Amino acid sequence: MNPVWVILQREYFSRVKKKSFLIMTILGPILIGLFYGVIGFIMTRDTSGDDVSVVSVRDEAGILNRQLDSMKGYRFQFTDLPADSVNKAIGDGKVDAFLWIRDRDGRKADSISFTASEVPGPAQKKDLERHIETALYNIQLKQAGLRKGFLDSLRTTASINTITLGEDGKLENTSTEVKAGIGFALSFIIYIFIFMYGVMVMRSVQEEKTNRIVEILASSVKPFQLMLGKICGIALVALTQFAIWILLSFLIITLVSSGIDIKSMAGEQAAANGAGAAGAMQAFQSLPFFRIGGLFIFYFLGGYLLYASFLAAIGAAVDQETDTQQFMFPMTMPLIFAMVIASRVVFDDPFSTTAVWASIIPFTSPIVMVVRSGFDVPWWELLLSMGLLVIAFLGMVWVAGRIYRTGILMYGKKVTWKELGKWIFYKG
């Protein structure tokens, strides 16, 4: 029997039979849902609570006409006391903050200071600035004889419905938000799995090296076969877990969806929500699932194999886990850079020069190209990106194999980048 296949089976079944694997596989979708639910709760909850700070306002030129309504977290009261007296009142706990406006012209109020024992955060500071700007704007409208309600009535809203024109001339309603959102979710999964299972490969190699088990294995199989069997076996573990997660998530979504009856929702808001949900569902159904799914599987495996090969080599080269940091950091930088591009550049313009090149370069393409997969990426870009990723993977496997065969039997020596370079070109 092929030694690679034997090692693959050993790595696969030794992990899927563990209780921890079964528990995390079942709880995975639930924990992910709770994770995003907690994030959503934290982002939407009222961070200021019910606390209201009393702010003394000294308006030297009277540009606010002693009018400044309360806002969330702040209640304003005007004063004519000098700054020193107000600051003393803050120290005595009589007031919480001092807003000092020294501007003479309400059209450009930029000489404003806010003194407090606890200064506001960036978001609160921005809210204060907008609140003052709105108050000055309303005062100037009133002085000009204009009503804010009349100006607001002149404002209109515009909503663009994006339509894709296929090569066969068929028109389909699409949603760029849905495409980008699905792509980013899939790329985030790849990002997490590369780290999680790539590190698993590295620790497995380190464990066998520390326990000297690898010396027995190396006498039966070639180091390269051992490395390849480990990488492929753990890749199957990742695919198994991910497939179960997809199935469980689909069942959960189906059960939840079956319990929602849009028609039973009352009122105009319900109708608007129903129309929005129907539009989102139509856009979701129009996605090229086979293309997105195929690209996801390819880049999922390609990205994992590319990085796992190098991580296996790192595990073989070092004796202690603390020594891996000098090698891990350069490897993680392209992945982090790819996530930044995916979350900012691709969302703004999936066909920008940065997005295109990042989806072609092998070290970032597993993340960036998956985000772009929902859009009509030219075939030549896909083929070039996929071809380069395969070439990079094969090259990395060769490099990792050269490092692996030397480092797996080396103990008690601090390894440097220069030393790794020498191992690559050792003969034999």
Q: Mean pLDDT across the stretch 48-72? A: 82
Q: Is the pLDDT of residue 254 over 60?
A: yes
pLDDT band of residue 167 (cuts 50, 70, 90) is low
Per-residue confidence band for 171, with pLDDT thresholds at 50, 70 and 90: low
Please give the pLDDT value at position 288. Answer: 66
- More confident call, 77 vs 161: 77
Q: What is the CA radius of gyration of the chain?
A: 30
The CA distance from 424 to 281, in Å, is 52
Q: How far apart are CA 53 and CA 101, in angstroms?
A: 18
User: Which one is predicted more confidently, 147 or 321?
Assistant: 147
Run of H or E residues at 164: strand 163-165
Pick from 124, 57, 115: which is nearest to 90 by CA? 115
Asked if residue 152 has pLDDT above 50, the reply is yes
For the chain, domain boundaries: 3-31+179-260+267-424, 53-153
Least reliable range by pLDDT among 160-169, 182-191, 200-209:
160-169
CA 112 to each of CA 62, 98, 115, 188: distance values in angstroms, whole numbers, following the listed order: 13, 10, 10, 43
CA distances from 151 to 64, 107, 125, 142, 388 (A): 21, 18, 27, 12, 57
pLDDT in tens, 88-125: 998 888 889 999 888 777 677 778 888 888 878 888 88
199 pLDDT band, cuts 50/70/90, is confident
Q: What is the DSSP letter of 351?
A: T
Q: What average pLDDT does range 382-406 have in this prediction?
A: 87
Measured between alpha carbons, how far is 186 from 368 in angstroms, rounded to an integer?
Answer: 10
**Where do the H-state alpha helices sit in 17-121?**
19-44, 83-91
Architecture of domain 53-153: 3-Layer(aba) Sandwich (3.40)
Q: Mean pLDDT over residues 269-287, rounded?
A: 51
- Whether the Cβ atoms of residue 238 and residue 304 lie closer than 8 Å to each other: yes
* C-beta separation of 388 from 324 below 8 A: no
Residue 247's pLDDT band, with cuts at 50, 70 and 90, is confident
pLDDT of residue 391: 93
What's the mean pLDDT in 37-54? 69
Range scoring the smallest mean pLDDT among 98-102, 151-155, 313-317: 151-155
What confidence score (pLDDT) does residue 286 get? Answer: 58
Residue 186 has pLDDT above 90, yes or no: no
Cβ atoms of 209 and 319 within 8 Å: the answer is yes
pTM score of the predicted model: 0.68
Residue type at position 54: V
Give the pLDDT confidence score for residue 262 in this predicted structure: 43
Residue 412 has a pLDDT of 66
Percent of the chain with pLDDT over 90: 9
